[in-house]
Amino acid sequence: MRRICFSLVLGVVAILLTRAQDRPEVLIVGTMHDVPKIVKHSYKPLLRIAKRYKPDAIYVERQRPDDSLSLANYESKWFLPAGDSLRQHFNEDCQRFDRLMQTSVSGMSHEDYAYLRDYFIVNRDKANWHYYRYLARHGLKGSRKPTRNENGDLTAKLAIAMDMNRVYAMDHQHEAQLYTKLWRACVIESRKDGQIRLLTKHNKKSYNRAILPAIFGRLGKHTNRTKTILSYEVSNRFTFRETPCEPCEAAGAVWDRRNAGMAKNIGEQMTELGHAKAVVIVGAGHVLGIKEALEAEFPGIKVRTLQDL
């Protein structure tokens, strides 16, 4: 009887371990967006970590091509008009596109990169337009000089290393204009009552904390520390104030909804496309908000940050 019970326990443990291994997983990597020349190599450590993770998908902070509201709110100045202009004389070949999307990026030619660059801007996919513009300019070896932003130094180089033919957009900018309006109102009110000094003091303290890590080539890892991310949230969610302020609190709520929207875009695409191991590349101030929203709405997805590795 004991042998039977022990066998049953082993069987249950084996099933649980198998399920845990089959559980899709996300690693959220926080970025600095653009970095100055003096710390131009800051993305190298993050790229090494992401390569070791070996993702089968990369999600980036860009608007999905089917999200017309986010595109209108965020990409209407030049990206959408540029694509609309090119569409007038672009020879779209659906068969060629389908064939290329079945081909690894290492199996494509320079002409293929240029075609897909134009295809994606015409079809309003800025994430993949960035990727193929980089490939058309630099090829599989990549840029010899750092581009000093995550699009080239992290996203493109990681996608090339994984031989991926596309990346996935996940941003959510449905309330971009409202956030800007509330941000301005919050700053005005904080100047009136003098509490803007708290934000200035907080930002200066955050900047000073980043100096030594930047000097010693650890800015990327410093940016992904939980303490650092929480300091970004103070600025992005306007929680620096000592007393309540309606526009500041409303702006914070918009920020939270944006994080929830990004998490929804990630979770739905991972489920639909069957991605098992994805890297999310996003501004560091969003990391914890996306993590919390993903874990709440998609409990079947394991969510990790660099602090968990």
Q: How far is CA 220 from CA 8, 150, 209, 210, 283, in A?
A: 47, 11, 13, 10, 11
d(CA 26, CA 55): 9
- Pick from 21-30, 102-111, 184-193: least confident: 21-30
Q: What is the pLDDT of residue 47?
A: 98
d(CA 150, CA 300): 28
Q: Where are the domains of the chain?
A: 25-308
- Residue 4 token pair: 């039977």
Strand partners, 95: none
Task: Report the chain's mean pLDDT, rounded to a whole number.
Answer: 94
- Residue 162 token pair: 């994984």
Q: Per-residue confidence at 198, pLDDT binned at 50, 70, 90?
A: very high
Within a 10 A sphere around the Cβ of 126, how many other Cβ atoms?
24
Q: What is the pLDDT of residue 15?
A: 40
Q: What is the pLDDT of residue 286?
A: 98
Q: Per-residue confidence at 16, pLDDT binned at 50, 70, 90?
A: very low
d(CA 189, CA 242): 13
Over range 14-23, report the average pLDDT.
53
Q: What is the pLDDT of residue 2?
A: 52
Answer with the residue of higher pLDDT: 211 or 2: 211
> Does the global pTM surpass 0.85?
yes
Q: Report the Cα–Cα distance between both ends of the chain, in Å, rounded.
A: 42
Q: For the chain, state the CA radius of gyration.
A: 22
